[in-house]
Amino acid sequence: EAQVTQNPRYLITVTGKKLTVTCSQNMNHEYMSWYRQDPGLGLRQIYYSMNVEVTDKGDVPEGYKVSRKEKRNFPLILESPSPNQTSLYFCASSWGGHLNTEAFFGQGTRLTVV
Amino acid sequence: GENVEQHPSTLSVQEGDSAVIKCTYSDSASNYFPWYKQELGKRPQLIIDIRSNVGEKKDQRIAVTLNKTAKHFSLHITETQPEDSAVYFCAASSLRDFGNEKLTFGTGTRLTIIP
């Protein structure tokens, strides 16, 4: 089954404690991205990756890091989480480039930073 | 960069009536306009999309229209049913540097179908 898998689904952490949210896709998609969803603000892109070892900032990258060492995985790293990073996070993948195709989303990770 | 505005933010319609959600975009180079539906507690999923060389597309009770001149596009849902209750997001895809696409989302519309 084609899917994007995120883990964990729920996470409560304390300010400053490094954490990683994992994302994996099994569709051989080149393009992967991370979004955060906040009430009234929609889905805002944090980082994206066009292929292995190619990443770039989205609209709200401050406080986040990513890596793309393998095509299927695109982890989101919060080196020193702060309360303003409390949000619902989604990973997504698509064929990308000029193809303009459907983005497949993971199940979401609800993060609370206290 | 691209800016997508979506209205209304909330919409309640009687079951069986039609619902219309409207979006405007700023980048005239945008050429792909998908709509995503997010049910409560679930992930966003594509329900319909339209490309810039087409003015209208229909899929059963759902249709999308695109006016490139005015830079706006709309989602139309006819004969609404309770399972249409969800948050709907429009999006526009424009090209970044080096030819890669960027998908910019609207802020969402919470649609409630009243039985």
Nearest chain B Cα to A110, which residue? Answer: B41
Cα B8 from Cα B86, distance rounded (Å): 14
Burial (CB count <10 Å: 0-12, 13-18, 19+), residue A62: exposed
User: Do the chains contact at B89 and A42, CB–CB below 8 Å?
Assistant: yes
Provide the 3-class DSSP secondary structure of residue A66.
Answer: strand
Number of A–B residue contacts, CB under 8 Å: 55
* Amino acid A68: pLDDT: 97
Asked if A40 and B9 come within 8 Å (Cβ–Cβ), the reply is: yes
| Predicted local confidence at residue B97, as pLDDT | 60
Q: How far is B58 from chain A (nearest CA, A)?
A: 17
Q: What is the 3-state secondary structure (H, E, C) of chain B?
A: CCCEEEECCEEEEECCCCEEEEEEECCCCCCEEEEEEECCCCCCEEEEEEECCCCEEEECCEEEEEECCCCEEEEEECCCCHHHCEEEEEEEEEECHHHCEEEEECCCEEEEEEC
SS3 A5: strand
Quote the minimal CA–CA distance from B39 to chain A in Å: 12
Chunked mean pLDDT (size 10), chain B, 115 residues: 93 98 94 95 96 91 96 98 98 73 91 97
Chain B residues in contact with A42 (beta carbon < 8 A): 6, 89, 105-108
B81 backbone dihedrals φ, ψ, rounded to 5°: -130, 160
Q: Which of A36, A100, A105 to mutate to test the interface with B (most CBs of B within 10 A)?
A: A100
A44:B105 CB<8 A: yes
Report the residue of chain B nearest A34, measured CA to CA: B103
Phi-psi map region of B59: left, alpha, beta (phi>0 left; psi -120 to 50 alpha): beta
Q: Determine which helix (DSSP H) or strand (DSSP E) holds A22, and give its type and residue range.
A: strand A19-25
> Looking at residue B94, what is its pLDDT?
77
Averaged pLDDT in 10-residue chunks for chain A of 114 residues: 94 97 95 94 93 92 97 97 98 79 93 98
